[in-house]
Amino acid sequence: MSQHSHGRDDSAKIADHHHIHSELPSDPALRVKALESLLAEKGLVDPATIDAWVEIYESKIGPRHGAKVVAKAWVDPAYKQRLLTDATKAIGELDMLGGQGQHMVALENTPGVHNLVVCTLCSCYPLPVLGLPPAWYKSAPYRSRAVLDPRGVLKEFGLELPEHVKIRVWDSTAEVRYLVLPERPAGTEKLTEEQLAALVTRDAMIGVAKVTA
């Protein structure tokens, strides 16, 4: 693990292969179409499988999953305890584990602590519970500033936190994926678990918003 590491030549070869991109059309729609037909011709992909994956991310996986986890934790203290102790197991109980979300940690927001999740190095995100990340989560502004100026970023999302609240930013550098357990809003005592789940937003589970009643 030195700067003269064995990775150097390996990396240089890959970097060379990236040179092709300057010779290809700039419109990604054209490039991806050509890639799909090439892969299909070579038998490296079945276009129907692409359809299946698109359907998974468009209809089967999304923030509704995470919202169910949150709502259950709000109404079921024992579940909440299990979630905070071993989120992988607790989310597994609901059959909501999967790729990019096999090792889960839940972070509880309280009046004194606010958690915020980012991946500065790429765009790691808990796919099985939140679906695909929004464009802003993957963008340079969020990745660069969430760690240096989390309060400024939150303010841009309309969330101004008092000085005494401790902000904990979680940079997803490994394969552990983070889900924020937002505070249950006041005045929701009478709502059912399902009604509560409908209040929980994706942004609140990333930590850039609170849940409002």
Partner 1 sequence: MNSIHDMGGMHGFGRVEAEPNEPPFHERWEGRAGGIVETMSFPPGFPGDRFRYLRETLRPDLYLTQSYYEQWLYVAEQILLEAGMISAQELRDGRPAAGEAKRNDAMRRDVVWDYLHDRTHTGRKLEQGPCFAIDQRIRARNMQPEGHTRLPRYARGKIGTVTRHHGGHVLPDAHAHWQGPAPQHLYTVRFTARELWGEAANARDTIHLDLWESYLEPA
Partner 2 sequence: MNGVHDMGGMHGHGPVAPEKGEPVFHARWEARMLGIRRGATFPSEVNIDRWRHIRELIPPHLYLSRSYYDHWYMSYVAALLQSGWATAEEIKSGHAGSGTAKRNDAMRPDQAWESQKTRGVFTRAVETPPLFAMGQRVRARNINPSGHTRLPRYVRGRVGIVGRHHGGHVLPDSNAHGKGEAPEHLYTVAFSMQELWGAEASPHDEICADLWESYLEPA
Tell me which residues in 91-120 interact with partner 1 (CB under 8 A).
none
Among 75, 82, 94, 157, binds partner 2 (CB under 8 A): 157
Question: Between 71 and 100, how does the x/- string for binding to partner 2 read (CB under 8 A)?
Answer: --------------------------xxxx
Q: Does 59 qualify as catalytic in the annotation?
A: no
Residues between 170 and 199 with contacts to partner 2, criterion CB under 8 A: 170-176
Select the binding partner of residue 164 from partner 1, partner 2, none (C-beta < 5 to 8 A, by kind). partner 2
Q: Write the secondary structure of 104-148 as one string of H (helix), E (strand) and C (coil).
A: EEEEECCCCEEEEEECCCCCCCCHHHHCCCCHHHHCHHHHHHHHH
Please compute Rg for the chain using Cα positions.
Answer: 20
Q: Does 122 qualify as catalytic in the annotation?
A: yes
Q: How far is the CB of 173 from partner 1 (least distance, A)?
A: 18
29 in contact with partner 2 (CB under 8 A)? yes
C-alpha span between 53 and 96 (Å, rounded): 17
Could you tell me which residues are beta bridge partners of residue 104?
177
Select the binding partner of residue 213 from partner 2, partner 1, none (C-beta < 5 to 8 A, by kind). none
Strands 166-171, 113-118: pairing is: parallel
Segment lying near partner 1 (by CB under 8 A), choices 2-10, 60-68, 96-104, 127-135: 2-10
C-alpha span between 2 and 175 (Å, rounded): 23
Phi/psi at 80 (5° precision): -55, -45
Please give the positions annotated as active site. 119, 122-124
**Interacting residues with partner 1 (CB under 8 A):** 1-4, 11, 15, 140, 148
